[in-house]
Structure formats: structure tokens, C-alpha cells
Amino acid sequence: MEVSTGHIYIDVPRLTEHELPLLSSALANIQGLNTIKVIDLLPNERRRFHLDALLANFPDPLFTVDASGTILSANSASATPLGLSEIALEGMYIKDILDGDYAVAATSQQQKQLQEVTLAGQPYLLERQLMHSTHSRATSNTIQDSNKQPTIQDCMLILHTPTRVGHHISKVQMGNIKGLNTIAGQSAAMLQVKSRAQQFASVHAPLLIQGETGTGKELFARAVHQASPWSSAAFLALNCAALPENLVESELFGYASGAFSGATRDGKPGLLELADGGTVFLDEIGEMSTYVQAKLLRFVQDGTFLRVGGKKEQKINVRLICATHRNLEQLAKEGLFREDLMYRLNVLNLTLPPLRERPEDILDLATLFVARAANQIDCPTPTISTQAKILLTSYAWPGNVRQLENLLFRTIAINKNKTIDANDLHLIGIADNTIINKAEPDNWKAAQAEFEKDLLTRLYKHYPSTRKLAKRLDVSHTTIADKLRAYGITI
């Protein structure tokens, strides 16, 4: 009998069809009993049925074990690689199934990081979930603890493939990157780069992205991956300039058990293994040591490598995208970068233009960044004054798009005014000598006229009518017509 949600459930297994009406008639005389129904399963039976269905369809091997390491249950993903049934696994010891340090039945009270084990010769990363605990007492299925701390009774073991773990990490890293069409910039230079990147996305070959700091190299790398046929696989990134040589090597290639002091006893897969079938992005590849370059060269040549301290050769299918702000050819001449690796990585090439070479994108980017910053800070979106626009489009932007975004974010965070004017930008650190390659006008009106003429000259080529250009600049078409005549601008 079960009681649940205001109902009483009675299991009568030997009740015949002839006896059912008699029982119903007898039960109907009970005060407070409203309805009588026949059901196929009791609530707990139905719950177990649904849980069994979930376990059967769970893609990763899964075990539950007690404190002694005895398998209590297993799903089909655990049994199939061993050629056994789920029932046959029950009662076996987990140490007879898994190779590796699994802390014998996972009885430790500390949920350690993922540990590497093998099941039927295949590598997995073991995750332990403690199912329940109790204070120490003398029972046959608990472990005594002299300090009378809670002790583990049962534990669930989930075996993840390295690529599945890499995919989960990738989903966190990717954020809101959806593809190349989400990258702002409609200048001719940016449209050309995005078009080429779209062509390269479907080609499974190394891609080298070059450009100054802040031009969006990692953004393009992620967008290229998202536009590729293997976008559902992992995208994992490593900054070669952020870590010392030995850590770059171990993070990229992984390490075997006991490879070095401080290494986990089970070893650890590197980014290449975690991203198998997907993409690995190596940022600042020009900062990589020649020792790691030699190891990377071998992988690029035949797709194989050894973990640090390992003896087993790994073969992985990964697309490499590398980025640098440095001149690799010059580094090769100086002996700081392997020439053979440079050619291997530079099969496909994207060169991102600096922001100063595409000033027509500055105002669109500024509008985007202002809206984004206002949303983050939770304040009304300010407008950008004409004087501020003049300054933004005249500045050299040595830090490129990243500098523009950071400047506008700080401006909004500090001022929170309804309008951003030139003085707000000066307060944040744009110096007086930032106008590039131009003789300084004598007065403010001359500066504004110079800006208007330059802006209209550039945009009129892409918006060859007064109405189109007026819509682009959000002014009346008569204003545009008057300005074009005043400055003598024609197509």
C-alpha cells in the first residue's frame, strides 16, 4: 500500500476480473472514499520505471557503488563496452571493471577533480557524486570514522569521454558568439575579411590570424569555428603568452601519471584531447618557445603527440587556429620561431585591419558599445554628441576595437550622463595630440567642417543617394543635400 498526494494505492496482485466489482462495491461503503480507479503501476513503480528509462538512455557509463566498491547498479552504456548486461554487473567490484585510481569504491568524503580511468581499454574522466551520508555507526554498509564525521554510504560514478568534457568547457567559453554575421563592421575592409573568413570556415586546415592587439583575433577565431561544419564540437583556447613553457606544454598536450612534481597521480588530458573533433585556438603563437614549437610541428604534420612524461602515442583530429600580433617571418629570421612551423600554420591566412584604417566603422562600433555598456551598468543609453563623434573618428586608436570599447564603458560608468560629449572623453584620457595625420584646424567650426567633409566623402560611395545617406546618418535628406553641395562632393 502507498499513500501519495491525497490518494491511497493498494496493490492486489491476485485480484481477478470477476472479483474486482465485488471489491469496488465493498470499498464504496467506506466513509470519505469518493472514487475507485484501476491503475497499471503504483507511484513508486512508475517512478522507478521512468528512472530506469533515463538511465538506459544516458549516453555516458554510469555506476552506483557502495562503500566497499560493490556495484549496486549500472546503465547500458557501462555494460555494452564490457559485453555484459546491466544485471551481470551488479555485485561485481568496481576495481575489477575500471583501470586507474578510483579511490576504491569512491568512499572518500572529498569530491576530487575528474580522474582519468579506462573502461574496456577506452579512456574516460571519472566524476564522483556522493549519494548520501550518515554519522558513523556500526553497520555492515558504512565505513567507520574515528572522528565521528559523516561517512559515505553509496556513490555514483559517471564516466565522461574527454571530448564531452571539452564540449562542456567550450559551451561556457563561447558565450554569445553565433557566427561571422554577428561581428560588427560594414566597411569595405571588414566585409572583405568576413567574406574570406566565411570561405575558410569549412576548410579543415590550419588558419593563421594576424593583426594588431585589440583587432578581434579571438573573436574571429570563435566565429570561424561557429561557421564551420564542426561547430557542434568543442572550441578551446590557450594563450601562449600567459603561461611559462612547461605549463603551455602540459595544458596543450596533457601529461601522464607522475610526469612531474605536483602532477595528479592519474594524469590529465590536454586541450588537444579535450577538443578532439573540434577546434583549438592558440593565441599569441609568436610567444611559444621553440621547444614547444617542435612538439606542435609534429602534431601538425601527422596529428600525433605524446603527453608530457607519457609513452603512449595519441592521435587526435583537431583544427588549429593560431593568432599573433607579431611578424612571424621576422621572428623566423631571428631564430625565435621555426620557419617550417610557420609555413605549416599559415596555410590559410586572415589579416585584420586596425581600427584607424576603417574609420567608417567607428561610429557603428561606438553605438554598439554604448548600448552594451548601458545595459551592463543598468542605466539609460546615452547619445553621442557631434563633437564626441569628431573626436572618436579622429583618434588613432592604438589599442583598436578593445580600446574603444573600454573607453566608452569607463565613460558611461563614471558619468552616466544623457549625452556623451568630447569633454567626457578627454576626462578619461584621450590626449590633445591624438588627431592623426592632419593639420590641426584653427577653430572648432573648421574642425567640424573637416570632419563632416571627410565623413560624407567616405560614406557617399557606399550610400549613393541623399536619402540613403541621410538614413545612414540619421538626419534629413535636405541637410545631406546641402552639405554635399557645400563641400563639392560628388560620386
Q: What is the pLDDT of residue 103?
A: 45
Q: Do 167-351 and 357-487 share a fold?
A: no
Enter the pTM of the model: 0.61
143 and 104 in contact (C-beta within 8 Å)? no
Q: What is the pLDDT of residue 155?
A: 83
Helix (H), strand (E) at residue 217 = helix 217-226
d(CA 389, CA 473): 12
- Percent of the chain past pLDDT 70, that is, above it, reads 76
CATH 1.10.8.60 fits 357-487, yes or no: yes
Type of residue at 465: S
Q: What is the pLDDT of residue 441?
A: 54
Nearest to 305 by CA among 272, 339, 259: 272
Query: Which residues, at least 6 apart from 133, have a Cβ–Cβ distance to it below 8 Å?
Result: 109, 150, 151, 152, 153
Nearest to 114 by CA among 105, 124, 104: 124
Q: What is the pLDDT of residue 337?
A: 96
Type of residue at 102: Y
- Each residue's pLDDT tens digit, 437-485: 444 555 667 777 877 888 888 788 878 888 888 888 878 888 888 888 8
Nearest to 248 by CA among 310, 279, 291: 291
Q: What is the pLDDT of residue 47?
A: 63
Q: What is the pLDDT of residue 196?
A: 97
CA distances from 135 to 113, 143, 280 (A): 25, 10, 47
Mean pLDDT split into 10-residue runs, the chain, 491 residues: 69 70 74 70 63 69 85 85 85 83 47 68 77 45 43 74 57 60 91 96 97 94 94 90 88 82 69 92 95 96 92 92 96 95 97 94 94 90 91 89 91 86 70 47 69 81 83 83 85 64
What is the third-level CATH fold of 58-160? Answer: Beta-Lactamase (3.30.450)
d(CA 428, CA 423): 9
Q: What is the pLDDT of residue 157?
A: 86
Question: Which grid coordinates belong to 461?
Answer: 560611395
d(CA 231, CA 321): 14
SS3 state at 157: strand
Beta-sheet pairing, 71-74 with 62-66: antiparallel
Beta-sheet pairing, 313-315 with 304-306: antiparallel
Q: What is the pLDDT of residue 171?
A: 53
d(CA 286, CA 336): 8
> Residue 230's CB: how many other CB atoms inside 10 A?
18
Domain boundaries, the chain: 2-44, 58-160, 167-351, 357-487
Architecture of domain 167-351: 3-Layer(aba) Sandwich (3.40)
116 and 124 in contact (C-beta within 8 Å)? yes
SS3 state at 275: coil
Q: What is the pLDDT of residue 147?
A: 47
Identify any residues that bridge with 7 across adjacent strands, giving them in sequence order: 4
Question: Which grid coordinates belong to 413?
Answer: 560608468
Q: What is the pLDDT of residue 344?
A: 97
In angstroms, the first-to-last Cα distance of the chain is: 88
d(CA 138, CA 131): 19
DSSP E strand stretches across 327-418 = 348-351, 383-384
d(CA 2, CA 109): 34
